[in-house]
Amino acid sequence: MLCHAELTNPNQVAICTTGDEFYNQSENKSKCQSCHMPALKGYKSAGSDSITDIRAHTFLGPHNADFLKGSLKISGNADGNRLTITVDNSKTPHSYPTGTPLRMVILKVIGLDRDGKVIYQNWQKNPIEEDKQAVFARMFADEKDNIPSPPWRAARVASESRLKPGEIRKIRYDLPEGVKTITAKLFFQLAPAPILTKLKIDDPYLKTPHLIDEITVELK
């Protein structure tokens, strides 16, 4: 927590709050090491002569695509043309995503007809504008109330839609007639593409949406 408890910007706006998120929730007090430093077999020290359980010191996080897979779970069911997607953060003792506020999680829902043709999408180009409920993120406003603002210029929190520690959230969609199959995918985005472009950062891993979980729902 010396590094991950809290970070404020020059305007004294708290932009990284993992510590508060962890300490302020009453349940699921699992230690950070449980997920980020998985157990393995090894020697406790260079002088040890017996193998025992130790913790990996790689401190896995969102820069590891395999670590992201399954970190959230989604499920879905349909009642007629009413689709409910459930996003499950019940096993995580901090908000999701946490850490740098450039991170966001995005839900993509695609509806296919009986011939496999796409006839529905919850968003096509910009999920923030087209389907806000599908975006899990914290947005900031600067002193001129421009939204979104880079965190280092933030004057206030403009919106907060991240999953809370332990939260299970339901998202509902009304589907058009003819949808027979739904595919839903949950992605982790480490930073918005416009900010990466503006900062001239051309890191393929940062630019790529990383799959967390996906499901298929058949409509009757």
Backbone angles phi, psi at 49, to 5 degrees: -120, 10
pTM of the model: 0.89
Q: Which of 54-58, 92-96, 185-189 has the lowest mean pLDDT?
A: 54-58
Average pLDDT over residues 142-157: 91
Q: Give kind and range of the element (H or E) at residue 113.
A: none
Residue 26: pLDDT over 70: no
Mean pLDDT of the chain: 91
Residue 104: pLDDT over 90: yes
- What is the reported pLDDT for 6? 83
Average pLDDT over residues 71-96: 94
DSSP state of 69: T
Pull the structure tokens for residue 144. 């001129």
**Which stretches within 101-199 are classed as H helix?**
127-130, 193-198
Average pLDDT over residues 126-149: 93
Residue 28: pLDDT over 70: no
Max CA distance (Å), the chain: 69
pLDDT category at 29 given cuts 50, 70, 90 is low
